[in-house]
Structure 1
Amino acid sequence: MRIITTLVISLSLLLSSIATANTTSFTVTPDLPTYSKIYDDQRDPFKDATAALTLAKETNRQVLIEIGGNWCSWCHKMDAFLAKNPDVSEALHSQYVLLKISVSDSNENNNFMKSLPPVLGYPHMYVSTAQGKMILSKDTAELLIGENYSRSQWLSFLSDWSVSATKAQAKISTTASVD
């Protein structure tokens, strides 16, 4: 009898917690690939880029290539900014596959970097279509107001270079050239 009572109480508590969990609102952070989360000198940037392009095609997003490293204080400031601004982080990850490429004294990733336009400072970003066409080289200093990253600058940048925005720009330029 004691076992049955304990079982009934345990089951009641379990069902109660499930019901509460189902009514609680929360946002689940997407499980990002490792190449979107960290700079790692040991990672193969070509393999990661191929994976990022594949994911971008599957999810209808652009690829945002972020060049930097663990040594880069502004890279850490940018990561902290994104962590403190979940709306910006959500806009980033919903419209782009983030690909972090590490450059450092121990591994400059020269073979990968020579295929890109020059880096103007760190972190530096490039936007690529899911088909691998480079459409933007971006100095992240343009996302600052004073010494801090700007929420409005970031959201504007992410919106301006998203898949839907670049498709609209292409349509406008095609229409303009026909006229």
Structure 2
Amino acid sequence: MKADSDKSLIIEADSAAIAEAKKKAAAEEKAKLPKPYDAKEDAEKKIAQLVTQAQKENKNIILQAGGNWCIWCLRFNNFVQTTPELKEIVDQNYIYYHLNYSPENKNPKTFAKYGNPGEKYGYPVFIVLDKNGKQIHTQDSAVLEEGKGYGLEKVKAFFNEWVPKT
């Protein structure tokens, strides 16, 4: 019996060490990634400006909801910014905005307007608006994941699905 007890203590210690190592690696990764969310920004005002810009440029709007605290939010932003074919689709077809959700600013009025999708899907979550600011799609980011990141073809298909219809 003592051997079994010792084994489970070793397994628990190993699990704790692995969890701590993963936490440390995630913190190091997060520290290196760009922080695109602005907790101080007035999201309602900014989105109104983006709608005006989208109308002029005939583009749709993607609101990437999340925060600088969210490793998956930062990974997605970095993936799009550093993958030329994704960046090109986004730049040609969308006005892209990082809608902040954080303890400092949960933007409750803005999130309520779009059905509080973070409560359903977690973060990041994507809200696609047409050029007039009408919500046309909400995208759960989990279906875009692949391994420890995002799948190129999955993300490309998502972006291409919601380009402005001419």
Q: TM-score, normalising length from structure 1? A: 0.68
3-state SS, counterpart of residue 122 of structure 1: coil
Structure 2 distance, partners of 1:114, 1:38, is 22
Residue equivalent to 1:149: 150
3-state SS, counterpart of residue 138 of structure 2: strand
3-state SS, counterpart of residue 68 of structure 2: coil
Structure 2 distance, partners of 1:109, 1:83, is 25
Residue equivalent to 2:122: 121
Structure 1 distance, partners of 2:61, 2:44, is 14
The offset of 1:146, in angstroms, is 2.7
Q: Spell out the pairing of 1:103-122 with structure 2 (5 A cutoff).
A: 103-117=101-115, 118-119=117-118, 120-122=121-123
Structure 2 distance, partners of 1:43, 1:106, is 11
Residue equivalent to 2:131: 130
Q: Structure 2: any 5+ residue segments left out of the alignment?
A: 1-34
Deviations 1:100-159 (A, max 9, x none): 111111111111111112221111101010111111011111111232211111111111
CA RMSD of aligned residues (A): 1.4
Which AA in structure 2 matches 1:38? Answer: P
Q: Structure 1: any 5+ residue segments left out of the alignment?
A: 1-36, 168-179
Structure 2 distance, partners of 1:64, 1:106, is 22
Structure 2 distance, partners of 1:131, 1:157, is 20
Runs of 4+ in 1 over 6 A off after TM superposition: none
Structure 1 distance, partners of 2:81, 2:42, is 26
* Rg (Cα) greater in structure: 1
Structure 1 distance, partners of 2:57, 2:78, is 26
Deviations 1:2-51 (A, max 9, x none): xxxxxxxxxxxxxxxxxxxxxxxxxxxxxxxxxxx821111000111011
Structure 2 distance, partners of 1:41, 1:84, is 24
The offset of 1:75, in angstroms, is 1.1
Structure 2 distance, partners of 1:107, 1:97, is 22
Which AA in structure 2 matches 1:149? Answer: Y
Structure 2 distance, partners of 1:44, 1:93, is 23
Q: TM-score, normalising length from structure 2? A: 0.73
- Within the alignment, does 1:95 sit opposite 2:96 as a pair? no
- Identity across matched positions, percent: 29
- Within the alignment, does 1:55 sit opposite 2:23 as a pair? no
